[in-house]
Amino acid sequence: MTRIAFLGLGDIGTPMAAHLADAFELTVWNRTPAKATAFAGAHKATVAPTAAEAVRGAAVVCTCLSTSVDVESVVASAVSALGPEVVWVDFTSGDPATSQRIAARLAAIGVPFIDAPVSGGTSGAQQGTLTLMLGGDPIVIERVRPVLEAVGKKIVHCGPIGAGDAVKAVNNALLAINLWSAGEGLAALKKAGVPSAVALDVINASSGRSNATMTLIPERVVSRAFPRTFRLALLDKDVGIAAQVARDQKVPSPLLQLAAELMRLAHATLGESADHAEMVKVIERWAGVEIT
């Protein structure tokens, strides 16, 4: 049976690795070892003491870390232990430029790399219904398809290396823009005498609707629930990546760039632990009104 190394047991990585443990021979590694030990207690998996030990002999190496820079550093520490037939699959929400740099480094020793960021959140990861956005060589993707199908439901080849990262970042930037702009509009309507639930009732039957107005704002903002499922700090990072992609591609993108600044200031204002939907609290403070 194919041996898989999985590096990075965070909120998304852990349930993904759990699916892989059911189907493959799995070795796990995590920067904080306690998480790896706990994982091996709950699933059929071996714990490796270092990233290098984890990847030794693996047919597929999977990473799911916070940033591409983290991946780059793990690659550096593990590269000498990689076997000749291995493929590196990176599920991190990364940035295209760093992914391309990593891919070039691995290509120099004959190891193919694909960027494969996911969407669907922790619940999608648990249910194995993630969407996977892939960048890299289609032939390589075919070689690891069983691994991809074990964790994701919708698997889309987006383009060359970095394309998966780019699509993920743009998706998240659109989420940020749709959410923030709805926050501005709903705050203004509330001050003009329109309850947010009434405004959403209309908007969600009309042309301005989005995932933000149909799901996030009713369930998290108007309800004041603000569950913490996806940190604003990470969304800030993603919107920054999308803004960088647009800059690198020389696409004038005033909304995208302004959104990156709004995420930056919301992140600075609300701190590291705030959920992404809490961004609207910045508008609420400025405007002196609650979106309810």
11 binds a copy of itself (CB under 8 A): no
Other C-beta atoms closer than 10 Å to the C-beta of 246 total: 21
168 tagged catalytic = yes
The span of 4-12, 55-63, 87-95, 198-206 binding a copy of itself (CB under 8 A) equals 198-206
Contact code string over 166-195 relative to a copy of itself, x by CB under 8 A = xxx-xxxxxx-xx-xxx-xxxxxx-xxxxx
Output the CA torsion sign for 187, 196, 272, 239.
negative
Span 39-98, contacts to a copy of itself by CB under 8 A = 96
210 is a contact residue toward a copy of itself (CB under 8 A): yes
Tokens found for residue 246: 């647009």
Q: How far is the CB of 177 from a copy of itself (least distance, A)?
A: 5
| Token code pair at residue 79 | 């590269």
Choosing from 35, 168, 190, 237, the catalytic residue is 168
Reduced to 3 states (helix: H, G, I; strand: E, B; else coil), residue 83 is coil
Task: Please state the closest distance from residue 8 (CB atom) to a copy of itself, in A.
Answer: 21
Determine which residue in the list 7, 120, 125, 141 makes contact with a copy of itself, applying CB under 8 A: 120
What 3-state class would DSSP assign to 274? coil
Map residue 223 onto helix, strand or coil: coil
For 25, residues 6+ apart whose C-beta sits below 8 A from its C-beta are: 1, 2, 3, 4
146 lies in the site for a copy of itself, by CB under 8 A: no
Choose, by CB under 8 A, the member of 61, 162, 222, 278 that binds a copy of itself: 162
Contact set for a copy of itself, span 230-289 (CB under 8 A): 240, 242-262, 264-265, 268-269, 283, 285-289
From the CB of 58, what's the least distance to a copy of itself, in Å?
28
Q: 59 and 2 in contact (C-beta within 8 Å)?
A: yes
CA-wise closest residue to 289 among 178, 180, 193, 175: 193
Residue type, position 60, single letter = V
46 pairs with which residues across the strands?
A: 27
Catalytic residue IDs: 168
